[in-house]
Amino acid sequence: MKSAVITFPGSNCDRDMAVAIELVSGTAPVRVWHGDSALPDGLDFIALPGGFSYGDYLRSGAMAANSPIMRDVISAAERGVPVLGVCNGFQVLTEARLLPGALMRNAQQTFICRTADLTVENAQSLFTAQYSAGQNIAIPVAHHDGNYFADETTLDRLEGDGRVAFRYADNVNGSQRAIAGVLNAAGNVLGMMPHPERAVEDAHGNTDGRALFEGVLNALAPA
């Protein structure tokens, strides 16, 4: 199983993401710089980590979405390669139009750093198959622009198609319908504001995020 973690100027969770992937899969991911023109051949999984790409200049994720490597990330996603975007990675995915909606300033106008209680809404996806529908999990959040917004038609479509992956039990940032994570129509792209890579081993005080990586990485592992 061959994976990659994309690093942008201002990423600060790329190492955390790489460690989580290696811990679960047993294989270190390839580290890819945003300015590279092409992804390595044969990738099975791509992760866009959290941070503050380009200092959140213009809009969070807007400049990173136009980085050279994103052309290949978009192509890979359209071919069906699983792509996970966490926090700033989620913002990049919406700006790149791989996911609908936008991430706006938190309703409280403050940076939020805490553990958030989530409800698993869809346990049928590649990313959530190790959870149960309705399961409550605790995952850290750390963001200033995590307030998920989409028009009502889009929100209804996401709900109707089962594309809301996670929802906040206590809406920490004002996201519409308390949405914490969404899937694309094909189910191979997941964006979420909470950080599952910060909850994968006992030293973190919580391992609720590990099942996400186990679900997708084990499914991709050779038989």
Catalytic residue positions?
A: 87, 195, 197
Secondary structure of residue 190 in the 3-state scheme: strand
Can you say whether the dihedral through the CA atoms of 81, 87, 90, 96 is positive or negative? negative
Q: From CA 129, how far away is CA 215, in angstroms rounded?
A: 6
Q: Do 57 and 16 contact (CB within 8 A), yes or no?
A: no
- Enter the tokens of residue 213: 């990586």
Of 56, 157, 158, nearest in space to 103 by CA: 56
Q: What are phi and psi of 41, to 5 degrees?
A: -70, 150
Scanning 6-122, the segments in alpha helix (DSSP H) are 14-25, 69-79, 88-95
Contacts of 214 (CB under 8 A, 6+ apart): 24, 130
- Residue 147: half-sphere exposure toward Cβ, Cα within 13 Å: 13
Contact 51, 12 (CB under 8 A): yes
Do 28 and 22 meet the contact criterion of CB atoms below 8 Å apart?
Answer: yes
